[in-house]
Amino acid sequence: MEINLSSEVLKKRGGVFLVILALVAGGYYLVNSGLFNTNLLPEDPELAQAGGVAAASGVETFFTLDYEEPPEEWLARVCAISTEEGCGVTETFFLPSIEKILAEKQPKTTCNATYGEMVDSGTETDGVGDEEKVVYEWEIWTVNLTLSAPWEGTEKEQEAFVQVNTDDGEWKFVRILFDQEVEKYTEEEVAQ
């Protein structure tokens, strides 16, 4: 068997070899550069941070106050984006304070809020053993808020700690944590 290695055949094979080498080297570079690494792709913020979005939305609604409207309208707006539990807490614990602020301070302000970081999370379950099931998930978020026209005795920029829960698979506002509850998270930061 005789192998024909003329210069023309060598040039064609050499050209093919160079093209294959360039493709392999280019592919190697792209893979190692991380271009095809799906872990580096940004997550959809609406899905990954849905609890934070619900917390910020709740704070904006909670702190948007107009003394010219009845307090019941404020409560209805807050309850529309809250869990049933959150609506009850707002009505029981926060509505009397809001009524007093509206009457005495006469605020007319809007609130702009952005979520910060999730500082705690967990699940609420019901049942035991094989009968145990998740009732809802919960998260605690820091939320930075700015009031357009703060009333007397209130800061224009504040930070709030906010609880959100899942309700039929959707994150909803529950409430702004009380000062005593916030201490748990601020003390942990100081300890670290």
Domain 47-191: CATH architecture, name and number where available: Roll (3.10)
* Cα(138)–Cα(188) distance, integer angstroms: 19
What is the structure's pLDDT at 39? 40
- The helix (run of H) or strand (run of E) holding residue 172 is strand 170-176
What is the structure's pLDDT at 71? 97
Would the pTM of this model clear 0.85, i.e. be above it? no
What is the structure's pLDDT at 42? 39
Selection from 148, 149, 146, 139 nearest residue 173 by Cα: 139
C-alpha separations of 1 from 4, 9, 20 in Å: 10, 17, 28
Domain ranges for the chain, please list them: 47-191
pLDDT along the chain (192 residues), means of 10: 63 64 61 48 58 97 97 97 96 96 96 96 89 91 97 95 95 96 78 50
What is the structure's pLDDT at 154? 94
Q: How far apart are the first and last CA of the chain?
A: 78
Half-sphere exposure of 113 (CA within 13 A, CB side): 29
What is the structure's pLDDT at 132? 85
C-alpha separations of 101 from 31, 83, 94, 95, 173 in Å: 60, 24, 11, 10, 22
Report the DSSP beta bridge partners of residue 172: 165
What is the structure's pLDDT at 131? 86
With 0-12 / 13-18 / 19 or more C-beta atoms within 10 angstroms meaning exposed / middle / buried, residue 55 is buried
What is the structure's pLDDT at 17? 61
Contact 116, 136 (CB under 8 A): no
